[in-house]
A and B are shown apart, each in its own frame.
Chain A
Amino acid sequence: MSESLGKKLLKSALETEDIELTCEECFDGLDAYVELLLEGMDPAEIMPMLKQHLNQCNCCTEEVKAMMVMLQDAAKDVQASSSPDG
């Protein structure tokens, strides 16, 4: 338990950047970020600072996961209604 916690803290410290987005700045970009994810793109290449913030922030990561659940569920509706049998 202690080494796992310590290792997570160590990793987090070593991956710290001098300038990082705030949670508010991250939130502003989450809708664009999630759409990139849903399109199968790598947002880390296009929005690296936001990706870096998510690596450091469980709160914002949780919101991304929630959005993915919500939007993937909505996409099922669209697929169902556009299928020949739907």
Chain B
Amino acid sequence: MERTNEEWLSDLRDDNPHQSKAIADLLKYLKRGVIAYLYTRSDLNRLAENELHQMSEDFAQEALLKIRANLDNFQGKSKFTTWAAKIAANHTISELRRAKWRDFSLDAITETGTSLQEILALPTGQGSNPAAESERRQVWEIITEVINTQLTDRQRQALVAVRVENVPISEVARLMDTNPNNIYKLLHDARLKLKRSLLTLDLDPDYILKLFS
């Protein structure tokens, strides 16, 4: 199966007589990689062996279509097979995520009362010296104040979904009718607000973290 990047790109083209062999080799490579990954997924433990193999077949075929459609986007920064594995990994994970989070609702976060605010309102630090306890309280107050008053509703919703409910960014994007880059930016802006407010305490960031260890 060993080919140079150039050979892969050439052999996979429609007018190349080696195309069938190249496609077969690449598909075999992708299927093997996908099934190896699926075996690591504990959420798929309930599936029978043949079901996992069928799933890997389906995902590998779908990834192959994406790879062939995007050959011109390969920039040669890695081996072609690594780039192809990236596309297959992304496709497989995306499909599994979509199935897992299909019935999740962002509104449910508010309805059940599960919120970052409730969790962060719980007591911090115990039994240590008063100065450290006071500093911990100040940090906690800042975090709570920023989240409650400085974040936009969308930033807060994204933060709770990703950080508390562990919803993948790609799924939050789908639920909020936007794209993952925008969700990452929402979270980045929220983190920046938190960071800038925390730094007004004039405490070393490593020291702040140690207060909660």
Contact = CB atoms under 8 A, between A and B. Distances in A.
Interface in B158-213: 162-164, 166, 168-170, 180-181, 184-185, 187-188, 191-192, 194-195, 198, 205, 208-209, 212-213
Nearest to B147: A9
B37 A7 contact: no
Interface string A54-67: 00111100110011
A70 interface: yes
B35 to A, nearest CB: 9
Nearest to A76: B36
Interface of B: 29, 32-34, 36-37, 40, 75, 77-79, 81-83, 85-86, 88-90, 92-93, 116, 119-120, 122, 124, 139-140, 143, 162-164, 166, 168-170, 180-181, 184-185, 187-188, 191-192, 194-195, 198, 205, 208-209, 212-213
Interface of A: 1-3, 5-14, 16, 18, 20, 22-24, 27-32, 34-35, 56-59, 62-63, 66-67, 69-71, 73-74, 77
5 contacts: A2-B119, A6-B120, A9-B143, A12-B163, A73-B32
